[in-house]
Amino acid sequence: MDNLFTDKTRWCWHPDFMPRTPCYIFFRKTFEVKSKNCRIKLHVSADNRYNLYLDGKILGRGPCRSDLEHYIYETYDLEIEPGKHALTAHVTVYGNGCRGKEVAIAEMHSGSGFLAAGGIFKDGKKITNLETPEDWKCKEDVSRKHRPLDAEYSLRTYAVVPPMENIDFANLARNWTGYSFNDSKWDIPKEYGPVTQRTNMQDPYTQWWLIPRQIPMMEEKEEMFNSAVKSEGIGISSVNDWIKGRTNLKISKNSKITIDAGHLTTAFPKLEFEGGTDATVKITYSESLFVDGKKLERDHKDGIVFGYSDLLKLNGNSSFFETFWFRTFRFVEFDIKLKGSPVSIKTPRFSTFMYPLDLKADFETGDCEIRRIWDIAWRTARLCAHEHYYDCPYYEQLQYTGDTRIQALISYCSTGDGRLGRQAILQYDWSRLAEGINQSRYPSAWKQIIVGFSLYWVMMVKDYYEYFGDRDFVKEVFPGVRAILEWFERHRMDNDLIGHLPYWNFTDWLPEWPNGNPARDTGKPVTINTMQYAEACRTAAYLAKEIGETSTGRFQSEYKRSIAAVNKLCFDQKLGLYVDMPGTKFISQHTNSWAILSDAVTGNKAEALGRELFENRKLSKATLYFSFYLFRAWDKTGNYGLFWKQLENWKSVLKWNFTTFPEIPFENTRSDCHAWSASPIHEFITCVLGVRPGSPGFETVVLRPHLSEYRKISGTAPIGGTTMELGIELSEKDEMSLSFKMKTEKQVTIIWPDGKKEDAGMTKSGKFTRKISNKGLNL
């Protein structure tokens, strides 16, 4: 797409509103297309967010979350028919107060603004100008106000998503997106300043340094609710008929209705009302039903909805409601209070909203419980992938590095789509403080540093490179790799361990670790920091070599120096384990798994330590999140059969009827949907089926399967632009057969469970058999 910005393109805003004033503003421009074979081409952005419509139909939502120095504009290019048209935008500005007070932390903005560039084109020439502010009109949407998340009652936890909405339909500008709407009394937008594009910036007039959107638009699909849960004031059978589309719901007295989408989702609720003058409808959204203030079974028959809510005031006319930003819910409660006249409600629907991940992988064992884990993990991954990866969609909608590394790997191995992961790597790179360390979540208007997460970012760069082979991208972000490692190097003590670090030393959510810190608030240095720093140095040495950097030797030296210090000062001979802090007896799966991953321990000792990770009951235990690194340690040491035992932690939550995997494996967990818990998808594909890049970008393929108790498995996996189908079977005589096929020839190497390698050659398909020793089976 050509650059549509011109010297006359300007940011603009409502003349009566100061920047940063929370509000909703309408923008309109009408025009006529007199010729056939025309296209409408636009660049659009806004501060804070916009929903863009053409003749009342949604074109897109944006801008994609980012920061001011990389502010996003979207591009729209589509055919347009001859006739009269209206291009309209609904723009909101969120609050800018204290945390939790109408503040969406993942939104990073300057104040207020709307921007459009482009026009109507025929044969490549612009025939109608649509750029702002020329001939645009604007008006405050006085029907809609922000509603605090705790408007009714405190959520009693950390919640920083965009605010809910209060809507008074008596003040609604009806049909404002249509051409024939009378906007003669609307205001002329106030010009703010010219466009600043990051690629040719000199002395900017505005704070928005524009770059094009990096990822596709979100996928929206309309769905219906699944079932009625309970009702007061109207029969449950009538509610079921209503949600199934058999009839409208007619409310003649105060009623309270709870309905179930069937599974957790992220979506825009859509409702149509008729009548009900001055009636109020409070719509409350919840991941789970609550019993006595706690979560038990997600659909417990005695449970109630508890959560944030929208509040609507009807005016007796036909009224359509759709939220400005999506809501996260499984259960929705309608609390309807009448003031006289009854109200009729059409069948409720919702449009799901998420990143368009296209699942190209599959995994089959014949075990329905494993299939259920696969499906739940996939839904979890999807609901935590939108304009960037989320830790959780209900409470935070923030992109944390520790979560993102796992989420990105799930995307890579299950879809072959690296765009969201690539964007995440860039965004963390943009987040870096002047002292050299990355922020732990980004985009984020509130700075937060979790020191170890910066080291995970270094590993993310390698992950992306291995799957997609983009050396130029590694070169682009490598200065950030160097800056992070130099920051840690400056915090090294005389004994070569990384010392006590500033900021948040989070590792995992364990009861015995206050704030997730293995130092237990003692202020002592943490062993795992030195181990992860060492591994990040080794990763940097590899990347430096791949892109022709000269710093390989320096990073290798740092790695060796750090590992030597760990083995000298952090290994307890009596325990036979690495301790969480030198000079203490605290031990954990976390520290000892990283001893394996960093090669502080190797060979037979590493294999024995891998078994100890599971068998030693005195070790502090990893949650669902950190189990990802246990799996890596077991994969590395030939102990991967223990994966199936650790998978019991995922199975254990199924009895509570989760439809996504939670933050921690506990029925009363805060968040029901945390994609750091979706790692079984990665394990099934990369370790059980064993499909891995043999060289960057899947130029070659390694098949390194683990079978365990399942004697027959099959599946598919995306590999470098194509898809591989696999089948693996173990006979009663312990003969393993492996077959595969794909559309493109690739060099394939098989690494059997006993460690033996076999060259399958340059091929599209093959079938191979090998007698496997008991040791290789990991049973």
Smallest CA-to-CA distance from 377 within 650, 123, 104 is with 650
Q: Of 668, 526, 660, which Cα lies nearest the Cα of 591?
A: 526
Q: 700-777 maps to which CATH number?
A: 2.60.420
> 436-439: long-range contacts (C-beta < 8 A, 24 or more apart)?
436/483, 436/484, 436/486, 436/487, 437/483, 437/484, 437/487, 437/503, 438/401, 438/480, 438/484
Distance of alpha carbon 669 from alpha carbon 46, whole angstroms: 36
pLDDT, mean of residues 85-110: 86
Residues 6+ apart with CB under 8 A from 726: 689, 691, 703, 705, 714, 715, 716, 717, 738, 739, 740
Residues β-bridged to residue 256 = 232, 335
Residue 440, number of CB atoms within 10 A of its CB:
27
Instruction: Please determine, for residue 652, whether its predicted confidence score (pLDDT) is greater than 70.
Output: yes
Output the pLDDT for position 775.
52
Q: What is the pLDDT of residues 429-486, one digit of tens each?
A: 999 999 999 999 999 999 999 999 999 999 999 999 999 999 999 999 999 999 999 9
Q: What is the pLDDT of residues 280-339, one digit of tens each?
A: 999 999 999 998 888 888 888 889 899 999 999 999 999 999 999 999 999 999 999 999
The predicted-structure confidence for 449-465, as pLDDT tens digits, reads as follows 999 999 999 999 999 99
Residue linked to tokens 């399958």: 760
> Looking at residue 73, what DSSP letter applies?
E
| Mean pLDDT for the stretch of residues 488-499 | 98
Angle between helices 419-430 and 401-415 (to 10 degrees): 160
Tell me if 282 sits within 8 A of 310, measured CB to CB: yes
Amino acid, res. 100: G
Please write down the HEC assignment for all residues of 467-489: HHCCHHHHHHHHHHHHHHHHHHH
- Is there a contact between 545 and 474 (Cβ–Cβ < 8 Å)? no
The Cβ-side half-sphere exposure at 365, using a 13 Å CA radius, reads 19
Please write the tens of the pLDDT for every residue from 603-637.
Answer: 999 999 999 999 999 999 999 999 999 999 999 99
Residue 708, pLDDT above cutoff 90: no
User: Residue by residue, what is the 3-state secondary structure of 107-133?
Assistant: CCCCCCEEEEEEEEEECCEEEEECCCC
Domain regions of the chain by residue span? 10-141+173-216, 220-354, 700-777
Cα–Cα dist 677/625, whole Å: 5
**Helix pair 527-547, 451-468: axis angle to 10 deg:** 30
Give the whole-angstrom CA distance, residue 671 versus residue 597: 29
Q: What is the residue-averaged pLDDT of the chain?
A: 95
The predicted pLDDT at position 408 comes to 99
pLDDT band of residue 584 (cuts 50, 70, 90) is very high
Q: Select from 392, 391, 418, 528 the least CA-distant residue to 473.
A: 418
Structure tokens of 530? 């030195």
User: Cα–chain-centroid distance for residue 318?
Assistant: 37
- For residue 237, the tally of other CB atoms under 10 A from its CB is 10
What is the radius of gyration, based on Cα positions, of the chain? 28
> 220-354 — its CATH code?
2.60.120.260
- Euclidean distance between CA atoms 745 and 760, whole angstroms: 11
CATH of span 10-141+173-216: 2.60.120.260
pLDDT over 70 percentage in the chain: 98
Strands 10-13 and 23-33, sheet pairing = unpaired
* Region of poorest pLDDT, from 101-110, 254-263, 541-550, 657-666: 101-110
- DSSP H/E element including 494: none
**Residue 561 near residue 497, CB atoms below 8 Å:** no
Nearest to 383 by CA among 364, 406, 407, 401: 407
Same fold, 10-141+173-216 and 220-354: yes
| Confidence at 354, pLDDT banded by 50, 70, 90 | very high
Q: Which of 284, 287, 307, 306 is closest to 392 using CA atoms?
A: 287
0.95 surpassed by pTM: yes
Q: Which are the contacts of 97, defined by CB distance < 8 A and separation ≥ 6?
A: 103
- Asked whether the beta carbons of 169 and 315 are under 8 A apart, the reply is yes
Tokens of 87: 């291009």
Residue 511 burial (C-beta neighbours within 10 Å; 0-12, 13-18, 19+): exposed
Say which DSSP state 778 is in: T
Question: How far is residue 197's CA from residue 413's CA, in Å, rounded to a whole number?
Answer: 35
H or E element in which residue 532 lies: helix 527-547
Q: What was the pLDDT predicted at 779?
A: 42
DSSP 434: T
- Return the bridge partners of 253, or none: none
Which residues, 6 or more positions from 301, have their beta carbon under 8 angstroms from its beta carbon? Answer: none
Residue with tokens 């990770």: 613
